[in-house]
Amino acid sequence: LSTKKSGELKIDNLIYTRHIRAMGNFIRKTLSMNSLEMLSEQLSSLFAGWPNPYYFAAVLDEKDRSRARCVLHGRHGLSASGSTLCWKESPVIDEESVRSDPAIRILLAQLLQNEEETMGYLISGMQAWNMRAQERFEEEALFLSAALNAVIGNRRLAEANNAILRLAEHDYLTGLYNRRGFLRELERRLQLPEMQGKILTLFSMDMDGLKPINDVYGHQES
């Protein structure tokens, strides 16, 4: 009996080690990810070997915290993602089928968090519970939290950079390109394939006498 038990533990640890190594490689990939679509696509293949019959992870909507978007969903080896749900009404998409599945007797739930906010949650369904299953589930939650934190941080940084770039290249009052933005857009358009071999004609006009209009009606009118 002890020999059999040792063999089972050895196989179990080998699978676990392989999974941890795969997750470490995945975390490195998230350093350049900035969309939940990319994250969801990679997660589905990573968790394909999940030993439990059910798993579900969702990310809370930043504008409407009552809604969540599924980024990881698997049941008996079949996976799907991308759906949106109202998590306060039902934390999973397929609640009724999960309740009626004889292979799922226990559900474990864990919030996915960083130091500042709750980003989403992870749910796992299993037939039987033991301490090692609990530990692994918590490790998976920590892993998903780290991955989500990286992707959301990258996306927010990209949005901030785009906003800064727009401010640097557009006039605040009119929303039109300033000199820097105009030259950059002109250079971009000149590189387009359909612009090659054509002659460019540029007209420039200087308008005087705008100060009285600005003083009377405001800059927005001019």
CB atoms within 10 A of CB 176: 9
Closest by alpha carbon to 87, among 119, 46, 47? 119
Of the candidates 87, 155, 97, the one whose C-alpha atom is nearest the C-alpha of residue 122 is 87
Residue 62 pLDDT more than 80? yes
The confidence band for 135, taking pLDDT boundaries of 50, 70 and 90, is confident
Give the DSSP H/E element, type plus range, for residue 74: strand 67-75
CA distance 76 to 170: 53
pLDDT in tens, 150-209: 888 888 888 888 888 888 888 877 788 888 888 888 888 888 998 888 888 888 877 787
